[in-house]
Structure 1
Amino acid sequence: MLTITIAIILAVLGTVIANIALPTMMRELDSTPAAATWVVNAYELSVTVSLLPLAALGDIIGYRVIYGVGLTAFTVASLACGFAPSLPTLVAARVLQGFGAAGIMSVNTALVRFIFPRAQLGRGVASVALVVATSSAAGPSVAAAILAVASWHWLFLFNVPLGVVALVLARGSLPRTPLAGHRFDWISAGLNAATFGFLLLGLNGIGQGQGRALVGTLLALGAAAAWFLVRRQRRLAAPMLPVDLFRKPIFALSVATSVCSYASQSIAYLALPFYFAIGGGMTQSQIGLLITPWPAVVMVVAPIAGRLSDRYPAGLLGGIGLVVLTAGLVLLNMLPPDPRFIDVVWRMMISGIGFGFFQAPNNRALIAAAPRSRSGVASGMLSTARLAGMTTGGVTVAVIFGLLAGKVGQEVTVALGVAAGFSGVASVISFSRLGRG
């Protein structure tokens, strides 16, 4: 669990840690703002398109192998990022780093399933959820601390010694798991990459206000690739996109709950800082303090919810948690124009309690719904659902802010209302799992 924890921290930080240094990178590498954003986009894109193929490959050759190769690639790519002399070199290294992160994230929950006995699986899954939540929340603070004493290169170089330590620990500790007997499907891997790649580029294009023709073409290509992918998967005994597992209501509903819930959280995380900065005139450090209660409470609640999920159904625990999250978002939407610090904090804590109570039970239900031989694709689907929800939330905020440009109070009110809608739908989906598994 220690080697898995270290690797998850590195992979999650890789998603958020570079954002804060983009202006500095742009200036030092003599680039433009649009080109500099590819330092982030390249990482996210390579993670998204490779999660499911690497998860499926883990079922075939072993989860510890995929984990080890992914961690090695991530560590080597971090070294290359730290010494990158130009933006194209840095972007190329970030692509490799994203593939490495996908190797880690695609099989980490599958490995946890073989580390913990079934009666304690909820605790193991809760540990992963805790690490993901903590790393996501700490990313900006870690980046700020590094940049306060060193150049942006060390945002990547600090990964290297941690990656080496995790590799040494992994060599003698990770369990060997049963191997599937089927072959890797390269055609499905290509269709998967085209589906998620085109769809992600199209959705990002909506958020960045790109031309309708370009966005429409990308989305159409993604939809076409998705149609061919699903059609092919239906004919396979062990599909890469687990359409066979989606026939199980508990699995399909858990994925839908995850997508809606992460979309809700992403919308709140993106919209509230604008409200605090522009509406309340708060500094960056004050905004950070106001956002912190949400992930801080998740850190406390997730282990408790994980233990409870070993005894009580995820549909009940997740449904209750998401009702609480919805209430927290509604209360945040009722903040006065000039809120006191404590008024924001207790509302953020309620939202964090709700999200923390949903996360671990939902993840446990999703991974446990799959046969042990399909743990890899289930683990990959868990990470894919999280990324899909976060992307949906980001695009939603971009569209709302674009339509209501200049009306900060109204923008945030609408965004938080939509976030509450997503979490409300998620709670209904969660409760619908009762009695199904």
Structure 2
Amino acid sequence: MRRLFTTRPGDDGLPGPERRQAVLALVLGTTMAVVDTTMVNLALPSIAADLGLAPARAVWVTNLFQVVCAAFLLVFAALSELVSRRRLYVAGLALFVVASLGSALSREFETLLVFRALQGVAAAATLSIGPSLYRAIFPSRLLGSALGLSALVVASGYAAGPAIGGLVLSVADWPWLFALPVPLGVGALVLAWRALPREAGRPGGFDIGGALLSMTMLACVFVAMDRAGHQAPLGQTLAWLAASVVAGGLFIGRQRRAPHPLLPLSLFAERRFSLAVSASGLAFVGQGLAFVALSFLYQREMGFSPLETAWLFTPWPLAIMVVGPLAGRLADRVNPSLLSCGGLGVLMLALATLAWLDTDAGVVDCLWRTALCGLGFGLFQPPNNRELMASVPPERSANASGVMSTTRTVGQSLGVALVGAGLAAGAPVQATLWGGVVAAALALLASLGRVSLAAEALRARRRAAAERVQ
């Protein structure tokens, strides 16, 4: 960890001593947003009972946050170029603090939903540009290690969220879950204002039409996945998907002719970037699918309680917490594509062992398979993220960061929807896990494509060197 904060001659990014406060601001901001998504789920029954709601309505306390957050990710990534990432991040933290306090004080369901939507907007502002800020803070030689630290923070948030939520609810009412981020947010706000890199905004306009189309496209696809995951009538799901496809087509058409496109399509002309995005999306499909399928497997097929199921999931994020930083550090020294390929191979094998799991298996059998999934995902994610971020020019880092966050969100939602569709069709729970194996296999193919590109580039450099010698 100490090497992350040492400075060498020629380093870009912030000087070593200044990195600590900047990183702490990012860690606090990311942790608040991630923990919120997992912590509040535990409070839904209490919220429903306290506000006199049906469980299906209470679910929107979580769903609305996720839909709004997903819809604004690309928008804020582009907006950060105009107003600067520091200002956008600080504004996102400030809004999150205000919205959290408003949620804690809400006593009407409609008021709570308004503040939850504002929390989603605020979370999008911070999560959309987080990876690009790591690139601005750390020198290029430590980019893999920095993104490994980011993976550690996210995994820690996912692991700690349920435990924190359960602890708070055991001694206090649900509003305290929303009040908890307020002091952390204030601290992160002060640190971010003082320590994040100062940069000038880009002159020019903002693609308002593209922003509206992007928000419509992502919100519709997210609602469609949610409807499929909750086994809604097929017509509803198809209608939302159709709306998303139409908005997506209009969005792509506008990006080709807009003077300041929200998402420059030239990013995807870089094959390393496109393959890294594809691998990331498919891997998160597998992860989202596995999380939901295992919940049904452990509780419905194997008879574990919800609390026992939560503990059975714990090895997955814990393994990422241990392996992610190590994989990121290795990615600064060896070919990141090879590391991500190895991680995806482990993840594919681990998901297959879960699909073969007997319903009378014991706790140890479940734990080692889940830990193996976390090991594979931890080996894959930081090196792949390094490839994704390093394959674009620094001035496009914010756009790449927005694509990364959007891919993760949509991929996880698609995985959840696939489980719902499979269960609605009467498929066994173990059969749905094979969908995760397929997703991991396709992600592995994308990573192998990057290995092929790297080998081709190496051969080209060697030929050029030989020609110069001659």
Q: Report TM bin, short chain.
A: over 0.9
Q: Alignment length, in residue pairs? A: 432
Task: Work out whether 1:424 is the aligned partner of 2:441.
Answer: yes
CA positional deviation for 1:38: 1.2
Q: In structure 2, which of residues 51, 70, 87 is the aligned counterpart of residue 48 of structure 1?
A: 70
Q: Is the 8 A contact 1:323 1:354 kept in 2?
A: yes
* Alignment RMSD: 1.4
How far did 1:312 drift?
1.9
Measured after TM superposition, the shift of residue 185 of structure 1 is 1.0
Among 60, 63, 69, the alignment partner of 2:85 is 63
Asked if the contact 1:122–1:361 (Cα under 8 Å) also holds between the matched residues in 2, the reply is: yes
* Corresponding residue of 1:283: 305
Aligned to 1:407: none
Structure 1 residue 152 corresponds to structure 2 residue 169: no
Q: 1:251 and 1:239 mapped to 2: Cα distance?
A: 18
Residues 370 and 178 of structure 1, relative CA distance in 2, 3 Å threshold: farther
Task: Tell me if the contact between 1:191 and 1:229 (Cα under 8 Å) persists in the aligned partners.
Answer: yes
Q: Can you list the C-alpha shifts for 1:211-240, whole angstroms capped at 9, x where unaligned?
A: 333333222121111101001112246532
Amino acid across the alignment from 1:421: V
Paired position in structure 1 for 2:102: 80
Q: Which residue of 2 aligns with 1:28?
A: 50
Q: State the SS of the aligned residue for 2:451.
A: coil
After the TM superposition, which parts of structure 1 deviate over 3 Å for at least 4 consecutive aligned residues? 211-214
**Could you report, residue by residue, the CA deviation over 1:59-82 in whole angstroms, capped at 9, with x for unpaired residues?**
121101110000100110000000
Q: Provide TM-score, normalisation by structure 2.
A: 0.89
Residue 268 (structure 1) shift: 1.2
Amino acid at match of 1:412: V
- Residue pairs, 1:165-184, within 5 angstroms: 165-184=187-206
Instruction: Report the equivalent of 2:344.
Output: 322
Which residues of 2 match residues 125-274 of structure 1 at below 5 A? 125-236=147-258, 238-274=260-296
Partner of residue 407 from structure 2, selected from 382, 385, 390: 385
Q: Shift in Å at residue 209 of structure 1?
A: 3.0
Measured in 2, the distance between the counterparts of 1:11 and 1:3 equals 13
| Conserved 8 A contact 1:318-1:431 | no
Displacement, 1:337?
2.3
Provide Cα deviations, 1:348-403, integer angstroms capped at 9, x if missing partner: 22211110000001111111122111111111111001001100111011111111
Deviation per residue, 1:22-63 (Å, 9 max, x gap):
111111112222221111111011101111111101112110
The answer as to whether partners of 2:206 and 2:260 remain within 8 angstroms in 1 is: no
Counterpart for residue 90 of structure 1: 112
Q: Which has the larger radius of gyration?
A: 2
Letter in structure 2 aligned against 1:115: I
Whole-Å separation in 2 of the counterparts to 1:248 and 1:309:
20
* Alpha-carbon separation, structure 1, partners of 2:431 and 2:400: 34
Kindly provide the CA deviation profile for residues 405-427 of structure 1, in whole angstroms up to 9, marking residues without a partner as x: xxxxx622111111111111111
Q: Which amino acid aligns with 2:233?
A: G
The CA distance in 1 between the partners of 2:258 and 2:224, in whole Å, is 29
Partner of 2:12: none
2:450 aligned residue (411, 424, 433): 433
Q: Deviations over 1:125-171 (max 9, x none)?
A: 11111111111122211111110111000110001000001011112
Residues 70 and 100 in structure 1, CA contact (< 8 A), matched pair in contact too:
yes
8 A contact 2:82–2:201 mirrored in 1:
yes
Separation of aligned partners in 2, 1:326 and 1:92: 40
- Which whole-Å deviations, capped at 9, do the CAs of 1:152-208 have from their partners, x for residues lacking one? 001100010000010111121111135323321111111111111122222222222
Consecutive unaligned residues in structure 2, runs of 5 or more: 1-22, 455-470
* 335-344 vs 141-150, which moves further: 335-344
With 319-328 and 171-180 compared, the bigger mean Cα shift is at 171-180
286-295 or 165-174: which moved more? 286-295
**Mapped pair 1:99 → 2:121:** yes
Give the aligned residue type for 1:436: L
Query: What residue ranges of structure 1 are gaps of 5+ in the alignment?
Result: 405-409
- Identity among equivalent positions (%) equals 37
- Summarize the alignment of residues 343-362 of structure 1 with structure 2, pairs less than 5 Å apart: 343-362=365-384
